[in-house]
Amino acid sequence: MKEYALLIVSAALVNNVILARFLGLCSFMGVTTRIDTAVGMGLATTFVITVSSMADWAVGAYLLEPYNLWYLRTVTFIMVIAAAVQFTELTVKKVSPPLFQMLGIYLPLITTNCAVLGVAILLVEQKMNFINATLFGFASSVGYSLVMVMFAGLRERLALADIPRLFAGPPIGFIVASLLALAFMGFSGMTS
Amino acid sequence: MGETMDNTTDFSAPALVEGFAHVVEVEGNMAWLVPESGTSCGGCASASACGSKGIGTTASRLEARRFQLVNDAGLRVGERVVVGIQENAVLRASITAYAIPLATLLIAGTLAQWAADSNFVTMAAMLAGLVFGLWLARLRAGQLMAKGELAPRFLRRASMGEMCNS
């Protein structure tokens, strides 16, 4: 149980996908203007990263490794992620068309989110077993969602703040992101 | 006192998130609308000039997201309008669509790993958990629909050049 707890803390906070590994930065800056859109994007990404981590592990363990096809892992994982997003989209559409109308816009953004591919490559390179790979994918995406929501909250407050014209908009956003990254550096050293 | 209250903002009323849509069809008292494309940069009407539109903003994808409104405002085909949904509707919808299936998937996987300690059993349990979670999500979405919490409502006609992030 301790091993799982350390894995979750490490993936979510210490080696945060956005602030430590610098993955998924386009959605980090683009979809964080409102908290509700950040939550929507975060939950959708969490679902897709967790499901695609499971699928990527299975493809790696039962297809790429036995047939010595590791050199195809990047293109294979991209296909698996695209299939996972398509599966999610079709399922949400089938389960509830109103939900699809409201949330469908986030799913295509996830297909092109490098955080999803980055997590998949990291988990196979670390030679994890299935449950660890799933937890790693889940915890990484929780860390991604946490930072998205925190940053969206900060940006909502920044929108009301009196900021010098030269710093208004993306510049102050980048400065705040750097301060947030510095704050997350406080977690470094907790786990490897 | 009553007149004073009428002129103040009603803070108890649920806040609405606004979006833009085009009227594509009018059938009797109902209007079909297609939401404007959104991109990761937050653009909308300007998305045609945006390199990040990718596969997420094709006409067919937007057509699949078309929705219906009661046409009390006399909308005509081609009009651009502002529609709104309750601010917490996206949060509730996201939890329903993603958090419930994810929770059942992870709980089923954890229990299976604890009980059997086998990758195949864990995978099968997670798959079963996912299917069960999707069924629960469907039930919950039906409840939200019955309360009208997922339905967008017409707010006003969009003015010339009005943008989603303006």
**In angstroms, what separates the C-alpha of A139 from chain B's closest C-alpha?**
12
pLDDT of residue A7: 87
- Confidence class for position B11, pLDDT limits 50, 70, 90: very low
Residue of A30, A36, A43 with shortest CB distance to B98: A43
Interface residue A109 vs chain B (CB under 8 A): yes
Q: pLDDT tens digit string along A51-63?
A: 999 999 999 999 9
- Please say if the pLDDT value at position B27 is more than 90: no
Residue B124: strand, helix, or coil: helix
Domain assignment present for residue A12? The answer is yes
Alpha-carbon gap, residue B162 to B36, rounded angstroms: 12
Tell me whether residues A30 and B91 touch, CB distance under 8 A: no
Residue A113 structural domain: 2-186
Which residues of chain B neighbour A50 with C-beta distances below 8 Å?
102, 105-106
Residue A191 in any domain: the answer is: no
Per the prediction, chain B carries an average pLDDT of 74
Work out the minimum CA distance from B6 to partner chain A, whole angstroms: 27
pLDDT for B60 equals 54
Share of chain A above pLDDT 90, in %: 31
Helix (H) or strand (E) holding B23: strand B16-27
Task: With beta carbons less than 8 A apart as the criterion, state whether B30 and B68 touch.
Answer: yes
The string of pLDDT tens digits covering residues A149-167 is 999 999 989 888 888 988 8
- Interface ipTM: 0.84
Q: Tell me whether residues B65 and A101 touch, CB distance under 8 A.
A: yes
Which residue in the block uniquely carries the two structure tokens 């389960």?
A95
In a domain, A20, yes or no: yes
Chain B residues within 8 A of A26 when measuring between CB atoms: 40, 52
Domain boundaries, chain B: 13-87, 88-150
- Mean pLDDT throughout A173-190? 87
Q: What is the pLDDT of residue A168?
A: 86
- For the cut 80, the answer to whether the pLDDT of residue A137 exceeds it is yes
Question: Does any domain span residue A192?
Answer: no
B108-127, pLDDT tens digit by residue?
Answer: 998 998 898 888 899 999 99
- Other CB atoms closer than 10 Å to residue A84's CB: what's the count? 24
